[in-house]
Amino acid sequence: MLPIAKSELVQVLRDRAVLITSLLMPLAASAFFIGFRDVFAGIGSLGYVAAVLVFTIAAFSLYVTTVTTLAGRRQSLFLKRLRSTAAGDAAILTGLVLPVTVIALVQVAVIVTTFAVVGGTPADVLLFVVAAVATFAMMLALGIGTAGVTTSPEHAQVTTLPLSLGTIAVASWVGITGTQDLAELKRIMPGGAATELMVGAWNGGLALGDALLLLVPTAAWVVVAITIAAKMFRWEPRR
């Protein structure tokens, strides 16, 4: 697994398109939200800004890059060659997505820490971290699943749009409007409950019972995403 991850890290660092998608775009978007945090906090809250930062990194640095990477490796028959080695399927996939995942985690840690320094620390750090990690797990699994229906890195620009923009839209919808209305609908949407958790964890005032209630759909989406990844991912090139 580690040799595959090391080789993949070298490939990622050499790929300018991937670097732009996984590093420059999320950093630019995050700088925008942090720079205008007072404006966005007025629209929603500081917790909303923090949640959007997490979803921006999860959507672009992790999800889009995962789809692009796996689609490219399959198209070049690299996945097929790896399966002829002694490494198992789980080790191959883990090695391929590990560098992207680590880069995204480092990014979100640095960006959210920077936001906490300039905008105030979250009321419940542990709960915020749990919600953020669940969001990353969901987006990583959805990325593996989406790669199964993506024929090439270029095709990934199309296949990743619905989920990448959709989850950020859900996070914004929940973060700005809250869950006083349409609470059940918002919480069962991908990222909806996780957003409410992050907003509540950052702003404070979220009761333990409510937090546990929100953890159920959050964890359920992680399970759904893993199921989708297992059913949709393909090793052979798609036409």
Phi-psi region of 150 (alpha: psi -120 to 50; beta: other; left: phi over 0): beta
- The neighbour count for residue 167, using CB atoms within 10 Å, is 26
CA-closest candidate to residue 175, choices 208, 135, 209: 135
Which amino acid would we find at residue 215? L
Q: Provide the whole-model pTM.
A: 0.92
Q: How far apart are CA 175 and CA 192, in angstroms?
A: 9
Q: How far apart are CA 146 and CA 77, in angstroms?
A: 18
Which amino acid would we find at residue 175? G
Nearest 5 degrees, angle CA 159-CA 26-CA 135? Answer: 70
Would you state the pLDDT for residue 238? 67
Residues 149 and 68 sit within 8 Å (Cβ to Cβ): no
What are the two backbone dihedrals, phi and then psi, of residue 235, each rounded to the nearest 5 degrees? -90, -30
For 27-45, letters b (16+ CB in 10 Å) and e give bebbeebbeebeebbeebb
What the block records as the tokens of 57 is 């990194």
What are the two backbone dihedrals, phi and then psi, of residue 115, each rounded to the nearest 5 degrees? -65, -40
Which amino acid would we find at residue 32? F
208 CB contacts (<8 Å, ≥6 apart)?
A: none
Q: Please list the ranges in the chain whose pLDDT falls under 50.
A: none
Task: Find the length of the chain.
Answer: 239
Q: How far apart are CA 239 and CA 225, in angstroms?
A: 24
Q: How far apart are CA 161 and CA 67, in angstroms?
A: 11
Would you state the pLDDT for residue 86? 73
Would you state the pLDDT for residue 107? 92
